[in-house]
Every structure is written in structure tokens, then in C-alpha cells.
Chains A and B, each alone.
Chain A
């Protein structure tokens, strides 16, 4: 079936393809979002990543704190995807839903909602919960319970495969999240179906709440696991923007996993590689210290 061109900003949830003449019941479910204010402006991934880190720190300075470590580690992947790679009609699913602060920043930079909404993050009356809701502009599924986003992405990619479309589906998983068995149910199916256009990024920061992933329940050799499941595996420095740009390209031949080697808390020295930085509630002085550090060290490979 011919794939209609969808309009809208990058990673707008795709317009529903209803093969039947009848009105699709599901079309009501697809979030309708207005075009982004700055959609015409070419976005710079490095600038977006820096802004994500600043916003994450500001949210962590709010009354409830935020999942800072894992939001900072995936900031560069998030920025490359949202600033450069996601085309109209492509999908993005944040499987590690606790990195919501990074996603919220990216979406606000795309004009999906006003940037000043970030100031109310996790506060009464805000729609910005600690984990994203499906009805937020630019978010298609509620995530946060780990091990769901990859299956949802497989479903989206399967829909595309069944209809012969060429739209892509990107998802970001945490590395600790890979301990969830449902990840591997989804991975097995994606490999079996050789789903094209599916790219799963593992934010391989090596830490989970209780310690290192390899000390908790080890994941290595991780690339070999995905290869054994029928995926192409690419390992890359998760803070090297040009390398990410290259590695994140989808394949027409089957699913791709990008193992993005990252530093938890990246960009904020007192949070980097710290288990305690997983969830941070920062006092104003630390917010200032963190923002100053981000200003100095923005971008660049590890």
C-alpha cells in the first residue's frame, strides 16, 4: 500500500493509515499535534544536547528532583535523533521512561509545548510527570515501567512492515532495563521478522540503582546477544555526535541495535559515574555548579 506523506515536525506520531474506507477507530488515539514553532529552523544536535542537559539540571533542582543521571547520559542520543534524524512520520518511543526530563526538553525545543512548562516539572497541575503520558504532544505511549518500549516499537515497525511503508521507529532503552525478560521477547520477534527501519539504542552507561550492571546481573557480551537474536549490532561512543549520526541509521535488512557507550551523569562532574546520581534533587548552589560545568564541557566525544 502506498504510504501517504505525513506533515509535521520531526517524530510527529504518524498519521493513521486506515486501509479500510471506514473511519479508523484508532485514529482518535493518535495524538494530534500542531506543527512545531521552529520546525523550519535547522536544529543543531550539539546545541540541543547542551540545552537538554541544562533543562535536566533545572528539573533536578525542582522540588521533587529528577532522574538526572540517565537523562544526562542519553542527552546526545536524544539530540541527534530529535534534531536531525527523525523525519515526519517516523516514531520515537522512550523505553527508559525515567529519562523523561531529557525527552521533555527535546520536545519543548521542537516547539511541541512551551519551554516554560519545564519549570513546572513534577509539580501539581503540570502534565509533565516523572514518566511521560501518552497524551503529551509528541508522545505516543506512556512509558516508565521498563521493558515495554521495545515491544511497542516492534509493534509500530511490524505495522510498517505489514503495509510496506518505509517509516522508521527509534527507541532508547536503558542498559539495566535489558534485565527485563520482555525486552528479549520483543527482540526475538523483531529478529525473526527482520523488521526494517527499527533502531533500538541502548544507553550503555553501565550503572543501575544498586550498582554496576555487570556486578548486578551482567549483560556482556551485549552485542553478541542481539546478534544472536537476529539484529545488527553497532557499538559507538554515545557522546560522539558524528559517530552517533552514522550509527543510528536504520537498515532495510532488519533491526539495528546501537550500543551507545555513555557516562551516567555526563556533563556534570559531581554526578558522573555516580550511582547516587541516578535520582538527584539538587540545591540551588549545585544547580549553578552543574550549569556552569555544562557550559564549559558541551559536546564532544568521551
Chain B
């Protein structure tokens, strides 16, 4: 809650100011503002590569930055997300690399068919920069929540899908996506989030990051707050003597099959945590791989029900709908108890059916 309020206050600062700002001990260290961090990478790319074209849909923040520096590489399409995708496809077909900017829910829901047919269907190198992912626009309300976007993006099958969980790596993700020959989807949050504690291995597209080694259970996280919850949960579990592996799955397509199997094999269970509905999200992507190869049970920590009844911070809204550190811990304990129970007294079919989860 505290972190979210702080994030709102600092949203307009530049990435550098935010990172280097003085932080008292009660406050977590905030990462860069996501849109600022992305924009700085885009400006570098545009300076080096005249194929870069910035297509805006009246999002705010590009007209007074990118457009000032690169007026010839900036076009504001207006508030027209369907046309945004389609015009980008036309430009990409002529050798440009369009970066299109809109919110995650508009990119994948309102403009879904235009993204599907014109961009992905023609395999064109458009980069969809989808901001306000998940519940990061918490106080905006349900119209601005994006809890289905990853399901749509994944279902498009040939769209690279990346969700940086560490704001400091948004620039790296942006630069690596630039090199892809096909279309890509980059999901960003609205505001800065705390820097994940501990080691920060480099982001490599298509490779899950191992943030903590553990042997008992595995927690797979996608997105900034889920990653924090996963790390906090691992710390709490460690206090109980439970060793939790933490993977950050920032790339949902292409999926890091080997990394997932290596990170989940031999554990009592896998908990996935994401800022998305359970249907079609990261948990389903992990299940595709894990359920086919490993006899390891899974629990999905994902947004349940319908957030948006009353204004709440991003963290509170997530917690109220099943996504928090406590939910990760509880899911991990359930999985461990299940395995423990199995080892203690092998259950008959009847016992299995009545066992509480």
C-alpha cells in the first residue's frame, strides 16, 4: 500500500531521479517509472535506427519528449486504437519498425482483431507497448484494468510477450525486443514499483531468471508486484525451514521450456503468481510445460473475481482478489502439506476425495 502511494507521487519523476532519490528505511527502494525507463530506451533506439517510428494514440508523455527530439519519427494516430495497429502494419510492411503505444486493455481487447490480423497475421515487426498492465491503474477503475491481455497476447501464438518484473530491466527488454524479426508485446505497469531485493541477474529474452535457489517448492512470478510477493514469500517460507526456488518468467512467448523444467523438477509443487486472471495467463503457460513433463502439482495465484467495486490501491485490490505474499505462502504450504501427507499415509481414493486442500 505504502509503495503504491509512493509510486503515484513519483510517477512524473525521471527514472534516474527516482532511483537515486533518498529513501527512508520504512520505504522500499523504488525502481524507475516504467514509461520513463521504456522511453529512454526508445530514444536511444530512435537515434541509432531511422526505421524506428513512434506511433502515439494520444497517450501523453511522448509528444513532449520523443516528438521534440525526433519529430520526423513521430506520428500521433489519435484516439483510434484499431487504426493504430493497422497503420503500424502498413508502415512495417514498408521497412519501418513501428512502436505503437496504448494501454494494455485497449491493445489486446479493443484492437484485438487488428493486432491479430494486420500485425501478427502478416508477421510484421510492430512493437506493441502496452502500459497500465494488470491493476496498475487501480484508481482508474475497471475500464482501465488489464487482466485478460496476456491471455489474448499468448493466444496470438506468434507474438513475443514480455513483462519485465524489475523496472531496472525495462530498457534491456526494449532493446532486445527491437532485434526480433516479428511482432512483440511489451507489458508495462503504470507506476514505479519497489526494486526486488537480492541479486538481479540480467534479463535475457526467452530465459526465465532464477532469483533464488530452492529445493522444496518453486514459485514462478510474472510482473513487478507478483515478483515481490514471490520473493517475500520465499523469505517467509525460509523461516519455516522451507527452501523455495523463485523464477521470474518475464517472457511468456517464446516460453523457456528448459528453464521451467529445470526450475520445477523434483519440487513438491509449483506456485505461479501473476497480475492477471488465471484463465490463459502465465500459470496456464507454465502448466503447458510442467504438466506434460513432471508429476508436480501446481497452484495458481492469480486475480479471482471482479476487482473494481470500490477504489483501492493496486496492492490492496490484488490482495482482495487473491494475489499477495500471504496467498503465495499459503499455496506453497498447501502443496508441501499435500506431499507430506502422501508420504505419511498413502491415501486411498476415498481419502483423497475428502481431503481438504
Contact = CB atoms under 8 A, between A and B. Distances in A.
Interface string B83-100: 100111111111111000
A158 B95 CA distance: 12
Interface string A19-38: 11010111111100000000
6 contacts: A22-B51, A25-B125, A145-B113, A152-B118, A158-B91, A182-B114
B122 A142 contact: yes
Interface of A: 13-14, 16-20, 22, 24-30, 134, 140-142, 145, 147-148, 151-160, 162-163, 181-182, 185-186, 188-189, 192
B83 A156 contact: no
Contact of A29 (B51, B87, B122): B122
A189 B72 CA distance: 17
A158 B73 CA distance: 12
B135 interface: no
Contacts of A142: 117, 121-122
Contacts of B88: 155
B62 interface: no
A25 B90 contact: no
B181 A28 contact: yes
Contact of B114 (A20, A134, A151): A151
B78 interface: yes
Contact of B80 (A28, A30, A188): A188
Contacts of B75: 158, 162
A192 B80 CA distance: 13
B117 A145 contact: yes
B83 A189 contact: yes
Given A151-B87, A151-B90, 16 more contacts: A16-B95, A25-B97, A26-B97, A29-B125, A148-B86, A148-B117, A148-B118, A151-B83, A151-B89, A152-B118, A154-B90, A155-B94, A156-B91, A158-B87, A182-B82, A189-B83
A30 B96 CA distance: 12
Contacts of A192: 78
A154 B87 CA distance: 6
Given A29-B123, A186-B83, A155 B93 contact: yes
B50 interface: yes
B122 A26 contact: no
B83 A26 contact: no
Interface in B58-76: 72, 75
A152 B181 contact: no
B49 interface: yes
